[in-house]
Amino acid sequence: MDLTNLPKYGELPIVEGTQERSAWGTFGNDDEYGCLNFLTPERVTAAANLIRTGKGVSLNLPIDVPGMQFWSSRDGSLEHHVEVKRTGRDDYLSGFYLQGSTQWDALSHVRFRGHGYYGGRQDADIDAGALGIDRWASRGIFGRGVLADVARYQEDARHPIDPQERFAIDKELLEAVLSQERTELEPGTLLLVRTGWLRWYLQRSPQELTQMQEHFVVDRSSFNWPGIDAGIPTVAWLWDHQVAAVAADNPTLEVIRYLPERGWAHHRLLALLGMPLGELWALDELSEHCRATGRYDFFLSSAPLAVPGGVGSPANAYAVF
């Protein structure tokens, strides 16, 4: 595939009857990898050269954290069962929500109105296994990771992000953060965006979390949290830089409250462009290591679970320096 002649965002075709653009067909009509196609063997090989010290940093929460299922009617309780036998032990999980912790959203997660899921697939295609997370699991996700530590940037500027306010991270802010880090996006980058929301959430008391859960079930539209801006300029910036995937440390990746006039990043990035979205990534230790070493790029490895037809998966992700 010749990625040097890839159309810019403004050159992508308009979805009929809308003002949105899509990359459907850009990588072939049967494509199920989306922007992971930017992770060419040459780019993965080059990314491996970023491993210099062998230091690994986990980007994963414990599988039972945060416990609160933000977008599901389930109560979020995960149970770990251990069977003790004379010869040893076996175990299994019940109530295991595949998007309940540090996660990837598969291309089968959301559809764009009646036009369908990525590539125009309809529910019958998804039911038959199309766009499942197992497609990504078959190849793994490996490449150059970059941390855009927006939370740290705002703290240094003495304008810290309030985790309970709507704070949209747009392309101009991302460019400013990367410039301060002396780091550039390269084609095939796996972009991680730290908002600081997860650090704040993990510091809440059990009572506060219970109140949040109860409030969220009743009126989720009243919540305001930081995240990626859903506007077309930011979406176009990600596509034009051939970002292979984007993940953040908040529950949605994108900023909430959702503003209909601004659009929904899940539609524009995941469904229309095929760009994998990661949520609830644990980025605080990574932030400290990047700050200490002055390095904000690294080799990133992620192994989604091979769940046939899965809509999401734990990320199982590591940064290696």
Within 10 Å of residue 291's Cβ, how many Cβ atoms?
A: 14
- Structural domains for the chain: 3-70+97-320 (3.50.30.50)
Confidence grade of residue 76 (pLDDT, cut at 50, 70, 90): low
**pLDDT, tens digit, for every residue of 104-126?**
999 999 999 999 999 999 999 99
Q: Cα–chain-centroid distance for residue 289?
A: 21
Q: Give the whole-angstrom CA distance, residue 256 versus residue 220.
A: 10
Closest CA to 270 of 67, 77, 22: 22
Confidence grade of residue 71 (pLDDT, cut at 50, 70, 90): low
Q: Give the whole-angstrom CA distance, residue 155 versus residue 36.
A: 32
With a cut of 70, say whether residue 231 has pLDDT above it: yes
Give the amino acid at 273.
L
Within 10 Å of residue 121's Cβ, how many Cβ atoms?
A: 20
**pLDDT, tens digit, for every residue of 143-195?**
999 999 999 999 999 999 999 999 999 999 999 999 999 999 999 999 999 99
Strand intervals (E) in 152-285 = 168-169, 190-194, 227-228, 245-248, 277-279
Closest CA to 282 of 252, 312, 248, 313: 248
Mean pLDDT of 186-207: 96
With a cut of 60, say whether residue 51 has pLDDT above it: yes
Structure tokens at 239: 């596509």
Q: Give the whole-angstrom CA distance, residue 42 versus residue 138.
A: 19
Residue with tokens 């704070």: 167
**pLDDT, tens digit, for every residue of 303-320?**
999 999 999 999 999 999
pLDDT mean across residues, the chain: 94
Structure tokens at 81: 């069962």
Mean pLDDT of 282-287: 98
Within 10 Å of residue 155's Cβ, how many Cβ atoms?
A: 13
pLDDT at 211: 85
- pTM of the full structure: 0.96
- Strand-pair category, 312-314 with 103-105: antiparallel
Q: Give the whole-angstrom CA distance, residue 143 versus residue 10.
A: 26
Closest CA to 138 of 125, 147, 128, 129: 129
Residue with tokens 């008391």: 205
pLDDT at 12: 98
